[in-house]
Chain A
Amino acid sequence: MTRNNEQFRVENLYLSFSTKRGIVQAVENVSFSLPRGKTMVLVGESGCGKTSLGRAILRLLPRNVKEYRGNVFLNGQDLMQLSNEKFRREVRWKKAAMVPQAAMNSLNPVIKVSEQVIEPLLRRETKREKAGAMKRAEEVFKLVGVPLDFLERYPFELSGGMRQRVILAMALITNPDIVVLDEPTSALDLLTQANIMNVLKRIKQEEGYTFILITHDIATSSELADLAGIMYAGQLVEFSEAYDLFREPLHPYSQKLMASVPSLKEEKKLEYLPGQPPSLLEPPRTCRFAERCPERFERCDEEPPMVEVKEGHQVKCWLYK
């Protein structure tokens, strides 16, 4: 399988929603780039904007969008320049796919699994096209470890773990250039979770897929992470090689977050974050984390820029400027 060598890149992406109480700034000025065949994990507390960022990439937007701008480059092409119609026809599910949060419950229980899985491949629904799609469905089922006879079953006959694999197969069937996985295992029991992480790891290694994995589970995210981004209150506050971020986080928020993750192997003193993240309705113009930050000083009253501390390691904090 050959894949174009170019990267996936997001530049200055913004997404906000209008609500009765005001504007919710869910994604604010997010930029990062991702080399081919690598996985980036995106972690952060509930409500920090992870799903919104994923939806912004796939242009899966709710009705109440207020502002949606920035650039999203896939294989050098700026997807934001495409019309909605063109994006839907040529990009979504074909070049870029998303496995939404809690997707395994979204399969239609009374339509045969095979019919649903091949859906993204069908254009004209000719017999020949269908036969080809079925062949590809068998390939991806093998890839994600679902027995082939499940193609002829109905979703209600499948366990949660199997349904999640079917959803994964559906996202991979078009052989997309990038796949966004939004909390793909959090609703599953532990052993199933570990099995699915194994599957993802294997297809990443063997097939060279590029993934963005969204999760609040930092420990599990380390299973797949080549690169890691930490989100806080709508902004990306740190982005680097996963190795650096897990071993030596720089942003005070990342440090606290990492220190709050329990470990089975070592007995470490756990830390936690007092307070709450700021509201995304008119968020403060200071550093978003200032109010909870143990290292706060005068400059933090102003929003810090993203600082490149060393090649490929960026952090949005005045301590490093």
Chain B
Amino acid sequence: MAFELPKLGYEYAALEPHIDARTMEIHYTKHHQAYINNLNNAIAGTDMENRTLAELMTGVSKLPVAVRNNGGGHFNHTLFWTVMTPNGGGLPKGDLLDAINRYFGSFDKFKEQFSNAGMTRFGSGWAWLIKAGDDLKITSTPNQDNPLMDLAETKGTPILGVDVWEHAYYLKYQNRRNEYLAAFWNVVNWEEAGRRFK
């Protein structure tokens, strides 16, 4: 089964002014689509075609680098679109908020550490909030790696992720990654993050 571009749950302009429509359209229709096309090419005619995306991720250290890069790209962007919403922002709820308070001291301290993980990722990559056993952790990965990958330095289940490749913010924020990361909090879909935490 070839992988396909998942439907976006909102319009390209829906996250304005925090993420502009042009960035959304290029990011989704060009970048994400290219990862999917390249992934499909990399697995065509092999037994990798019978594996789920999650299975490819957890065994990626033994697979071709094109699967790591493009499978990661597909997984990460698929997650990214769902953890944002036009009605986002505010505070997480219930168990997730409790866990964040417990592990990071407060929601503000969590935000600060997560933003810092995004700011200090040199080059292209992602910052993550993950569940690792009973722990919540903040981590970051280079390029299109993610914490599900068996080769990740810090492994776990992604709860929230933010893309800090320059293509995610350059048209609107240029060199100001800090402003993009500040704006991200206005569109975070905490309901979705909460589901991923369960």
Instruction: Say whether A and B bind each other.
Output: no
Which B residues lie at the A interface, using CB under 8 A?
none
Which A residues lie at the B interface, using CB under 8 A?
none
